[in-house]
Chains A and B, each alone.
Chain A
Amino acid sequence: DAKTTQPTSMDCAEGRAANLPCNHSTISGNEYVYWYRQIHSQGPQYIIHGLKNNETNEMASLIITEDRKSSTLILPHATLRDTAVYYCIVRVALMGSARQLTFGSGTQLTVLP
């Protein structure tokens, strides 16, 4: 699976958009970009994933650059409950084979009141 690079930490004001970047310059054509987050002392929570098109769901938006070498997770209106470590993971689709997720260091997002 391709390696990802994320900033160690970021702050965001409550109510503002939080933009979390992720570099994955060695991503291959069949690898997806997944985002999970982990609130302190809880298990990881799935947020969103995408291949090459931008994606949006009720939690966030995922913007993937045209060359797919980087992406940005956008939380449109951050709240204090969004304070967590956010993990960007790049991997091939499961496609019937069981594949675990490999977690990097992630980005500690702190939403400030």
Chain B
Amino acid sequence: GAVVSQHPSRVICKSGTSVKIECRSLDFQATTMFWYRQFPKQSLMLMATSNEGSKATYEQGVEKDKFLINHASLTLSTLTVTSAHPEDSSFYICSALPTGTGGTGELFFGEGSRLTVL
């Protein structure tokens, strides 16, 4: 199946700093990527939909100025957590929808990035 890669897989940062997480589709182009967040023992929660060449669409309750999303190419979306605080510590997961997928196309997920804010 198609491969989606996230980097870094783990990151520890100090409170107040910014952290960038990359999501790459390795063998396909993705016009649309999705960013999820998962807290311990909870399910995935959609944060935002990232569309190549346009602004991301954020879910209700997700601060767009805190979670900056850039989807500058058909194979790369980035999530930047600005001025991170301990409550932002979570498992961040991206998924990608291959361009031109119609019908029942499945989503492909990255391995996830675990952010710990001290």
Give the interface of A toward B (CB within 8 A): 32, 34, 38, 41-46, 49, 51, 87, 93-96, 98, 100-106
How many chain B residues sit at the interface, stated as a range, is 20 to 34
User: Can you list 6 A-B contacts (CB < 8 A)?
Assistant: A41-B91, A42-B111, A43-B93, A51-B104, A98-B51, A102-B46
Q: Is B95 an interface residue (CB 8 A)?
A: yes
Give the interface of B toward A (CB within 8 A): 1, 4, 6, 31-32, 34, 36, 43-46, 49, 51, 91, 93-95, 97, 101-112, 114
**A42-B111, A98-B51 known; A34+B106 contact, CB < 8 A:** yes
Q: Is the interface of A mostly helix, strand, loop or mixed?
A: loop
**A46-B108, A103-B44 known; A98+B1 contact, CB < 8 A:** no
Q: Which of B6, B43, B94, B106 has a CB less than 8 Å from the CB of A103?
A: B43
Q: Is the CB of B102 within 8 A of A100?
A: no
Please, which residues of chain A bring their CB within 8 A of the CB of B106? 34, 46, 49
